[in-house]
Structure 1
Amino acid sequence: MAGTPSCKDHKEQGQEAAGVATFVKDYMSLLLPADLNLLWTIGAMLVAVLVLMLLSGLTLALSYTPDASLAFGSVEALERRMPSGWLLRSLHMTGASFFMAALYLHVFRGLYYGSYRAPRRGLWLIGSALLVMVMITAFAGYVLPWGQMSYWGADVAGKAVGAVPLIGPVLERIFLGGDAPGTATLHRMFVLHFTLAFSIVGAVLLHVAVLHTRGSSSPSGLRGQNPARMLPFYPYFTIKDTLGVVVMALLFTLVLCFWPGLITEPANYRPANPLHTPADIEPEWYFLPFYGMLQAVPSKFAGLLVSAGAVAVLFCVPWLDRGAGWIGEQTGQRWLARLAVSALVVSFVMAGLAGSHHVQGIWLLVGRLATVGYYAYFLGFLPFYAKLANWGERA
């Protein structure tokens, strides 16, 4: 009878179910170093926030209109008329900030413990690509509400792209869909935001698959990866990850309910006005370090290279670092390594503060010093640390 499942169909479904069960069983029995600290729970936090972002984003997309004359009104109607619409948008906005904060911590953990070294170079490269994808997705999402900061943020980004020699004007027109931000820009950002969101899910699955193959790094380096010092993922690390997600959920709720001003921009609650330039144009907080580097350089094109290079240099880290272990395993100059990592973090934060102050006055000097300090870690410290450590041992 037509439409009735055959024995072959039932057999194939049974095989698929068995395959999924085998994968879950293998993953739960994955051996991990017993000394993994709380920084290794950030991956679980990122997955939890990603699921929240996808669910809330899909719901928001049902009511959004990517048109310059209707976008802001559709967002306002969603917040004021749709049942719990304000909560959905707040969850999505707060989730974006928490996702970026957790992602930066994840990258810092990888840099600190040398998680990019062989045999995990591929894992690091996938993670770096994920960072780029998330940043592009976040920027596209910031443009979509079409408030004042959304419009002028797109305008600033378009002018930065337009600074590329020879092909800049063409790239700017492709990016904006015209001479200025408008409906074409919104269509581009909406498609980009929507498409990259699902591409990120695929990249995360690939990231987890490679992690399963290569194994996790350890705070104690090679000693921690000794099979005798490993424990299965379930139940030991599932409990730790669950605790991390619960703590993050509490912080998430506090920001969402009591301190929403930390992650919102008041100017973006006013509709876009091409005839009125805001006195202070600045991106979301998680882009401020790169915005500060962009403004710290007098030339627009050079500033674009420096800002984009701050992310691109992460792809080169596995080959820039000539050391054999993380900073805690080097026996010569541990204090120098920790000082360098601290200087990197301080430089990144100071670049963000300079960006929030529009790199004017004393902040211009701060922004330039922070930019030099940031690049000094990757181009000055990593390639030569191993030699310094060996020299310290001989001394």
Structure 2
Amino acid sequence: MSKRLSIMKQPVFSVINDHLVDYPSPSNINYFWGFGSSAGICLVIQIATGIFLAMHYTPHVDLAFLSVEHIMRDVSGGWLLRYMHANGASMFFIVVYIHMFRGLYYGSYASPREALWCIGVIILLLMIATAFIGYVLPWGQMSFWGATVITSLASAIPIVGDQIVTWLWGGFSVDNATLNRFFSLHYLLPFVIAGASIVHIAALHQYGSNNPLGVHSGVDKVAFYPYFFVKDLVGWVAFAIMFSIFVFFYPNLLGHPDNYINANPMSTPAHIVPEWYFLWVYAILRSIPNKLGGVAAIGLVFVSLLALPFLNTSQVRSSHFRPIFKKLFWLFVADCLILGWIGAQPVEQPYILVGQCATIYFFLYFLILIPLCGKLEHYLIQVRGAPTLRASLSYK
């Protein structure tokens, strides 16, 4: 026993013991709290497969597409590495989106966890940047034209826009210098995400995990191991099964067929669309008829997410005790799904009008409805004495 205690006091083992074994967790957290650890597994998969793919990839406009085909056809196990990396990006976004919606529903952004939420939004922004530049590397038709369209948006920025585009391209068009820059950044950014994830975990462990009831974080806690390790393990197995189905049976389901055509600057695809996990952002961008306005709207998306903890006025954390907010939340979820659908449709009516209405509700939810709903709930508590709202008035 004394020997085990002395081992646990060693720096590495003490950190593991404090944050993964004896870490106190609320006893009532459910399976939705396991998506954070699943996101960590996705990040490890992406880094590991990316390192091995980089050993065979050639970042040159004349050879990039052929090097990807070489990986698929000639490298032993290369097809598996490529499909795991490509589908792993989709799995990563699925897990992170569910993780964020869970945080929105249960109020995990509320005080004192503002820093935790803001770091998570920064990680999402880094993920989007990493996935976008990674989508360019296969140098297919959609890779080339997607890079051309998205990077040229920076030209809408007053005064410095053209200089930013030239710097991104490394010249006056998307060419070899662009591909080299994107390859370097795509290799670097996952390690930045890993570092930000460690900071995210540190911020989480400072105040402890939230829980479905939103009650005081010090109430009724148990050790993470074995209780929640086993619960997370169930989620990991379910994730592995779903991931394997995509990799082995439907590896190209989430990709675009035009990306299996070598990039041709002289032939524009009929409909340029990004990967599915960008479609909601793309729909917001397209809904603004002005180019600068569209870029500003994308910036406002992340400003709204970062400002959420400070816009929140509710004295109640969990949506279990917020019937009005619960309805607004599920409308928001439906709104995001509609935006994703609109992003894949052609730029014509009625898709333009539907996209504009969905975009309005997206910003209305963060900037108007969340602050207003909190004040309305406070009124109901103080004046009308709503019992379900008063039940969890205090939280930390």
The DSSP-based 3-state class of the residue aligned with 2:222 is strand
Give a deviation string over 1:190-249, Cα, whole Å, max 9, x none: 1111111111111111111221222111110125x343x211100001001111010000
Asked whether 1:136 is paired with 2:124, we answer no
Matches within 5 A, 1:104-253: 104-223=97-216, 225-227=217-219, 229-253=220-244
Asked whether 1:19 is paired with 2:8, we answer no
| Gapped regions of structure 2 (runs ≥ 5) | 1-5, 385-396
* Identity value in percent: 38
Please tell me whether the aligned partners of residues 289 and 349 of structure 1 are also in contact (alpha carbons under 8 angstroms).
yes
Asked whether 1:82 is paired with 2:82, we answer no
**Which residue of 1 is the match for residue 275 of structure 2?**
284
Please tell me whether the aligned partners of residues 359 and 367 of structure 1 are also in contact (alpha carbons under 8 angstroms).
no
Question: Which residue of 364, 371, 388 maps to 1:376?
Answer: 364
**Which residue of 2 is the match for residue 3 of structure 1?**
none
Q: Displacement, 1:93?
A: 0.5
Q: Displacement, 1:120?
A: 1.0
| Distance in structure 2 (CA, Å) of the matches to 1:172 and 1:104 | 30
| Distance in structure 1 (CA, Å) of the matches to 2:300 and 2:367 | 12
Question: Which residue of 349, 353, 360 maps to 2:348?
Answer: 360
**Which residue of 2 is the match for residue 92 of structure 1?**
85
Please tell me whether the aligned partners of residues 160 and 300 of structure 1 are also in contact (alpha carbons under 8 angstroms).
yes
Please tell me whether the aligned partners of residues 135 and 143 of structure 2 are also in contact (alpha carbons under 8 angstroms).
yes
Give a deviation string over 1:269-326, Cα, whole Å, max 9, x none: 1110000000010000000001011111100110111123212311100101011222
* TM-score, normalization by structure 1: 0.92
Please tell me whether the aligned partners of residues 8 and 14 of structure 2 are also in contact (alpha carbons under 8 angstroms).
no
Matches within 5 A, 1:321-332: 321-328=312-319, 330=321
| Gapped regions of structure 1 (runs ≥ 5) | 1-13
Question: Which residue of 302, 310, 322 maps to 2:301?
Answer: 310
Cα pair distance change 1:218/1:327, threshold 3 Å: closer
**Which residue of 2 is the match for residue 386 of structure 1?**
374
Please tell me whether the aligned partners of residues 296 and 359 of structure 1 are also in contact (alpha carbons under 8 angstroms).
no
Quick check: 346-355 or 287-296, which moved more? Answer: 346-355
Q: Displacement, 1:261?
A: 3.4
The DSSP-based 3-state class of the residue aligned with 2:174 is coil
Letter in structure 1 aligned against 2:133: A
**Which residue of 2 is the match for residue 347 of structure 1?**
335
Q: Aligned residues, how many?
A: 377
The DSSP-based 3-state class of the residue aligned with 1:146 is coil
Q: Displacement, 1:70?
A: 1.1
| Distance in structure 1 (CA, Å) of the matches to 2:118 and 2:245 | 34
Please tell me whether the aligned partners of residues 118 and 306 of structure 2 are also in contact (alpha carbons under 8 angstroms).
yes
Cα pair distance change 1:183/1:16, threshold 3 Å: farther
Please tell me whether the aligned partners of residues 292 and 358 of structure 1 are also in contact (alpha carbons under 8 angstroms).
no
Question: Which residue of 288, 291, 312 maps to 1:300?
Answer: 291
The DSSP-based 3-state class of the residue aligned with 1:222 is coil
Q: Displacement, 1:186?
A: 0.7
| Distance in structure 2 (CA, Å) of the matches to 1:70 and 1:93 | 19
**Which residue of 2 is the match for residue 266 of structure 1?**
257
Question: Which residue of 96, 104, 107 maps to 1:103?
Answer: 96
Please tell me whether the aligned partners of residues 169 and 178 of structure 2 are also in contact (alpha carbons under 8 angstroms).
yes
**Which residue of 1 is the match for residue 35 of structure 2?**
42
Q: Displacement, 1:15?
A: 9.9
**C-alpha RMSD of matched pairs (Å):** 1.6
